[in-house]
Amino acid sequence: MTRKCTLTEYDPLPVDDDDHPSNSSSEPTIGDVIFARYSRREALKGFSAVAALSMMGAMGGAVAARPARAESAASLTFPEVPHGMTETHAVADGYEVQTLIRWGDPVIADAPSLDPLNQTAEAQGSQWGYNNDYVGFMPLPAGSQNADHGLLCVNFEYTNHHLMFTGVARGKLEELSDKQVDVEMAAHGHGVIEVIRDNATNTWSVVNPSKYARRITALETECVLSGPAAGHDRLKTKSDPTGDKVIGTINNCAGGKTPWGTILFAEENFHYYFGGDPEQTSEAQNYKRYGLKPKSRYAWSRYHDRFDVAKDPNEPNKFGWMVEFDPYDPASTPVKRTALGRFKHEGATTVVNKDGRVVAYTGDDQRFDYVYKFVTKGRFDPSDREANRDLLDDGTLYVAKFHEDGKLSWLPLVYGTGPLIKENGFASQADVLIETRRAADLLGATPMDRPEDVEPNPVTGVVYMNLTNNTRRQEEQVDAANPRASNKHGHVMEMIPPGGKGPDKDHAASEFTWNIFVLGGDPAKPEDGAKYHADVTENGWLSAPDNMAFDRTGRIWIATDGAPKAGLADGLWAAETEGPARALTRHFYRTPLGAELCGPEFNTDDTALFVAVQHPGDTKGSTFDAPSTRWPDFDESMPPRPSVQVIVKKGGGVVGT
Ligand code: FEO
Ligand code: CA
Ligand code: CA
Ligand code: CA
């Protein structure tokens, strides 16, 4: 059922919900650094992949093999999905897509099905939330590597009121009732479902009832704060005078897993949710750096005083953290781990370092903001799960500075060192963490082109980072033939810890090297300055990389958010990271109109690939009453519904072979 949608019917461009820079730092941006490394002449002519790889190998000390024709050596042989925009999704021939769960489907036993004209907060709090994002597959039983049965742990990032409720126009917050606001709050957060495969048919389904089924929401779930900022005066509010508790979690974007089998999920654009004038609070400097404005993107402050900074000025300090919870214990309390810093976390992924310390990589998704890593003080104990519980409360947070010679320095954010002292407004480590961005500014971190997912390759140990885009235009890079800003399409970077391959790499080291893996855009357009393997096809190029996953053989799977601005739907592309087919991205899956792709996540033997389709139908002018697509139901009584799907190979087998 592939229905072509003509672009005159719908403006396919989504409204840009991100990218409102609030960093006035004068440090060179990563665009400046890359530009300086690869010279103006090379940047302008859109240098070839061969030249670029060779040059970067020489300069960055990384893989630099000259790519040969790749067909014979490539392991990714699926037929590519054509670029395009259609009302429904598309996947490579030979694969099958199953829709597992949709917005409003029951999660908790006996929850009602979605009744879109009569939705209530009570129903929503027991159903699948809106705008599913991060997906984590956690095998059952706990601690096993079972590929056929597990938990799916999924974030619900934000709500689109114009697609959720009848008669509500985009941005018309005054049209939202208290009941609708409570539905929105209950549609945020996280969900846990039990999923199982029928091996006879290679079909996945949701197990309901399940003792693991759970919803975490912004409306009702009590969370605790732990680590150095917990209980600090700046976190004390009317509803919580102790400063170590908070109701709910918001804008839960991407995430990751810990080695001890818990989930880490991010709080990203928390600034959108608060009303009141932040400049009239004692936190004015802090809130300005995080982009809080008197005009909110949500109506929550009209009905809930804690979202009005005029009434409860410290509440925003309780958001912007990484949250950890144990999905195997449905009664567990989510914990905001303040030691990992407060900013617009895209997600966080972890690796056990060769010395047993755990390293978490985490990006701050805003134009001109930074990439961080956290190194635990304690060591992971694989034989004692409980002993690892609070490892993320004690350690050192670092921010990255990228040098022109291909080196990368990790700068520690430690109170009392360098500029992180009283004279600059930091009286404790809690202050450094509450205002992580301002602390990182003072250290001279490198402003990046919106760091989204950051994740170590499990085979090579190289850490990959998706930088989604930066439309800032540098004068010397623009001429009549190149009228666009330098990085409209984003890029994929490699951060390379010292040491041998894989487990021999030292993720705790203070000096890495760095490299460019892919520069997004159309390689047929010299003005894009794109860089891939020389054999990338007309469907193999991508724009606006966001989320990522690795399969067990170390191949990267890149999901995009914003490709419609380049004329193609968002989706999923796969590439090898080493060998002759390095950086030969291939197009595997395409989202329906208006959607971005989140997840992606493999089961434990790579025979199932879970993807989260976020904000389907969110195109300009599209509403609940007249949506640009009714994916995935195509039922006139149903609006478009964000959904998690699972992709399997027809007849079974590893995805991507
Ligand atoms: Fe929520 Fe940065 O994507
Ligand atoms: Ca998103
Ligand atoms: Ca994202
Ligand atoms: Ca994004």
- Whether the per-residue pLDDT at 175 is higher than 60: the answer is yes
What residue ranges do the domains of the chain occupy?
7-268+320-649
Q: Quick check: CB of 253 below 6 Å from ligand 1?
A: yes
The stretch 85-91 carries a mean pLDDT of: 97
DSSP E strands: which ranges in 331-441? Answer: 335-337, 349-352, 357-363, 367-369, 371-379, 395-402, 407-412
* pLDDT value of position 155: 99
Q: Distance from the CA of 347 to the center of ligand 1, in angstroms?
A: 8
d(CA 479, CA 18): 27
Q: Distance from the CA of 18 to the center of ligand 3, in angstroms?
A: 10
Tokens of 440: 């990182």
d(CA 7, CA 615): 18
d(CA 494, CA 517): 6
CB 155 within 8 A of CB 190: yes
Q: Distance from the CA of 479 to the center of ligand 3, in angstroms?
A: 32
* pLDDT value of position 345: 98
Q: Quick check: CB of 268 below 6 Å from ligand 1?
A: yes
Which tens digit of pLDDT belongs to each residue from 396-446?
Answer: 999 999 998 899 999 999 999 999 999 999 999 999 999 999 999 999 999
Which tens digit of pLDDT belongs to each residue from 235-286?
Answer: 999 999 999 999 999 999 999 999 999 999 999 999 999 999 999 999 999 9
Shortest-distance atom of ligand 1 to CA 268: 1
* pLDDT value of position 26: 62
Q: Quick check: CB of 452 below 6 Å from ligand 1?
A: yes
pLDDT band (50, 70, 90) for residue 36: low
* pLDDT value of position 9: 41
Q: Quick check: CB of 157 below 6 Å from ligand 1?
A: yes
d(CA 637, CA 653): 37
* pLDDT value of position 74: 84
- Whether the per-residue pLDDT at 482 is higher than 70: the answer is no
The stretch 110-121 carries a mean pLDDT of: 98
Provide, rounded to the nearest whole percent, the portion of the chain with pLDDT above 90: 84
The residue whose two tokens read 């003005």 is 527
- Whether the per-residue pLDDT at 355 is higher than 70: the answer is yes
Tokens of 386: 């409980």
Which ligand is nearest to the Cα of residue 451, counting in written order?
1
pTM as predicted: 0.92
Q: Distance from the CA of 370 to the center of ligand 1, in angstroms?
A: 14
Q: Distance from the CA of 345 to the center of ligand 3, in angstroms?
A: 10
- Whether the per-residue pLDDT at 65 is higher than 70: the answer is no
Q: Distance from the CA of 547 to the center of ligand 1, in angstroms?
A: 8
Q: Quick check: CB of 346 below 6 Å from ligand 1?
A: yes
The stretch 479-499 carries a mean pLDDT of: 72
DSSP E strands: which ranges in 74-148? Answer: 90-91, 95-102, 132-139
- Whether the per-residue pLDDT at 141 is higher than 80: the answer is yes
* pLDDT value of position 27: 67
CB 463 within 8 A of CB 494: yes
* pLDDT value of position 68: 43
* pLDDT value of position 37: 52
Shortest-distance atom of ligand 1 to CA 452: 2
Q: Distance from the CA of 251 to the center of ligand 2, in angstroms?
A: 9
What rounded mean pLDDT belongs to the chain?
90
Which ligand is nearest to the Cα of residue 365, counting in written order?
1
Q: Distance from the CA of 254 to the center of ligand 3, in angstroms?
A: 6
- Whether the per-residue pLDDT at 507 is higher than 60: the answer is yes
Q: What is the per-residue burial (b if ≥16 Cβ within 10 Å, else e) of 144-181?
A: eebbbbbbbbbbbbbbbbbbbbeebeeeebeebeeebb
Shortest-distance atom of ligand 1 to CA 561: 3
Residues 6+ apart with CB under 8 A from 475: none
Q: Distance from the CA of 590 to the center of ligand 4, in angstroms?
A: 16
Q: Which residue has the higher pLDDT, 655 or 53?
A: 655
Q: Quick check: CB of 369 below 6 Å from ligand 1?
A: no
- Whether the per-residue pLDDT at 454 is higher than 80: the answer is yes
- Whether the per-residue pLDDT at 371 is higher than 80: the answer is yes
Q: Which residue has the higher pLDDT, 70 or 616?
A: 616
Which ligand is nearest to the Cα of residue 160, counting in written order?
2
Q: Quick check: CB of 399 below 6 Å from ligand 1?
A: no
Q: Distance from the CA of 558 to the center of ligand 1, in angstroms?
A: 14
CB 467 within 8 A of CB 448: yes
Q: Which residue has the higher pLDDT, 657 or 653?
A: 653
Which tens digit of pLDDT belongs to each residue from 545-562?
Answer: 999 999 999 999 999 999
Provide, rounded to the nearest whole percent, the portion of the chain with pLDDT above 70: 87
pLDDT band (50, 70, 90) for residue 486: confident
Shortest-distance atom of ligand 1 to CA 254: 1
Residues 6+ apart with CB under 8 A from 41: none
* pLDDT value of position 487: 87
Q: Quick check: CB of 266 below 6 Å from ligand 1?
A: no
- Whether the per-residue pLDDT at 485 is higher than 80: the answer is no
Which ligand is nearest to the Cα of residue 269, counting in written order?
1
Q: Quick check: CB of 494 below 6 Å from ligand 1?
A: no
* pLDDT value of position 418: 97
Q: Quick check: CB of 365 below 6 Å from ligand 1?
A: yes
- Whether the per-residue pLDDT at 505 is higher than 70: the answer is yes
d(CA 331, CA 216): 11
The stretch 219-245 carries a mean pLDDT of: 97
DSSP state of 114: P
- Output the residue whose Cα is nearest ligand 1's atom 1: 253
Neighbours of ion ligand 3 (CB under 5 A): 546
* pLDDT value of position 114: 98
* pLDDT value of position 50: 33
- HSE, side-chain direction, 13 A CA sphere, residue 372: 32
d(CA 402, CA 409): 7
- Whether the per-residue pLDDT at 28 is higher than 70: the answer is no
